[in-house]
Amino acid sequence: MNFFNLFKIAYKALLRNKTRAMLTMLGIVIGIASVIAMVSLGQSSSLSINEQISSSGTNLIMVMRASQMQGGVNIGSANVQTLTDKDVYALMQRARYISMASPVVNYSGQLVYGSNNWQGSLQGGNEYLTAIRRYEIESGSNFTEYDVRTYAKVCMIGKTVADNLFRNGEDPIGKTIRVGKIPFRIIGVLASKGQNQMGQDQDDTVIVPYTTVQKRMLAINFVHMIMASAFSEDVAIEAAREIETILRETHKIKEGQADDFQVRTQQEMLEMLNSVTGFLTALLAAIASISLIVGGIGIMNIMYVTVTERTKEIGLRMSIGARNGDIKLQFLTESTILSLIGGLIGIVFGLLLSYGASALLNWPFLVSVQAVALSFVVCAATGIFFGWYPAKKAASLDPINALRYE
């Protein structure tokens, strides 16, 4: 029996019970659609995270204060004063892989302009901070080294702050806003960057000279963080190691003692987040694939029913010369067609589902060719695997008993 005849017989047999065939395929459709959607969304989320981290600079290196132990209890890093602007000067003078570095001092407060106010955050840095963070200045200009040395009360604001303080669409440049009781003159407006990988609004920021926050607002002589930029992504790891070496020397940390700072690169964050999203994608895809097993059991169940219903037909085919292999192949073809059609429908639904979810979450839409191809292969394998035993049972029927079956 050639393949065309097998396909024709199987197609007609399935058409005789359309509703049953559709319900049988439902488990396969749900399973394949779920796997395709989970894999596609996992890759989309990973790409979205990569793009967001890249927008902050993959050569960005952050030096943070280490947690402090007191009486065997971890009391965090809020009161640690180990980082100073002298560390920044040391890095700029001695580091070979660092192009720029900036101290960072943070402050939160109420921003006021006229009758408008906004709960915002100030990020104090030097004249290199915007370049390190890859902020573009949409209008106005950056503050200078002179502004840093003189504790100047000047600032650059993000789009979110501008939209909430200047609601009438007026130009913020040259205007004065208050942070608490301290006035700041706006000299620049930053171009929009959107949310970062943690979902935080990067446009909800005010960048000022770090000395202004230190001396005029917090009355401290240390910094909360140091941000540095390696010359390129390729030397970011070497730059991080170099920073550790220099800071251990400037902080006089002896061999064997723990560092009083932490060095983190964007690449480390990227690898960690990709590892987490990859694990979650695999886990969700594995859970979704359980539907495939349920669908396969449904195919096996319906093929058993089909063999029972068509026992007399099987006996008739055997009596006119059909071999056991022909009968087995016929029922295997039916189960495989059921699985493949369900798989194709599931692939389409899975792609539509992932497209809709990506659009809703504002993620890039990706089609995993490997997942689609693997799903197609799995569908064929499911049809053959779960259809094998019913087909074998049909092929092993005694022709005489089959003809007598009512």
**What does the mean pLDDT of the chain come to?**
80
**Percent of the chain whose predicted confidence (pLDDT) is above 90:** 27
pLDDT (tens digit per residue) in 329-381:
777 777 778 888 888 888 888 889 888 888 887 777 877 777 777 777 777 77
DSSP-derived secondary structure letter, 104: E
- Would you state the pLDDT for residue 330? 74
pLDDT at position 186 over 60 = yes
Reported as a pLDDT band with limits 50, 70 and 90, residue 71 is very low
pLDDT (tens digit per residue) in 105-161:
999 989 999 889 999 889 999 999 999 888 899 999 999 999 999 999 999 999 999
Rounded to whole angstroms, the Cα distance separating 62 from 240 reads 9
pLDDT (tens digit per residue) in 283-342:
777 776 777 777 777 777 777 777 766 666 666 666 666 676 677 777 777 777 888 888
Q: Distances in Å between the alpha carbon of 128 and those of 62, 95, 209, 358?
A: 14, 16, 10, 36
| pTM for this predicted structure | 0.61
DSSP-derived secondary structure letter, 195: B
pLDDT (tens digit per residue) in 97-115:
999 999 999 999 899 998 8
- The token pair at 223 is 């910094």
Reported as a pLDDT band with limits 50, 70 and 90, residue 383 is confident
- Would you state the pLDDT for residue 223? 92
- Total Cβ atoms within 10 A of residue 387: 26
- Would you state the pLDDT for residue 399? 60
Place of tokens 């902080």: 251
- Would you state the pLDDT for residue 54? 60
- Would you state the pLDDT for residue 164? 92
The DSSP annotation for 111-149 comes to EEETTEEEEEEEEEE-TTHHHHTT--EEEE----HHHHH
Place of tokens 């007191």: 70
Reported as a pLDDT band with limits 50, 70 and 90, residue 73 is very low
Lowest mean pLDDT among 1-5, 172-176, 253-257: 1-5
Reported as a pLDDT band with limits 50, 70 and 90, residue 185 is very high
Rounded to whole angstroms, the Cα distance separating 132 from 134 reads 5
272 versus 83: the higher-pLDDT residue is: 83
pLDDT (tens digit per residue) in 247-272:
998 988 888 788 888 888 876 666 66
Reported as a pLDDT band with limits 50, 70 and 90, residue 21 is confident
CA triplet 340, 31, 22: central angle to 5 degrees?
Answer: 55
Is the CA virtual torsion 24, 25, 30, 34 positive or negative? positive
Reported as a pLDDT band with limits 50, 70 and 90, residue 76 is very low
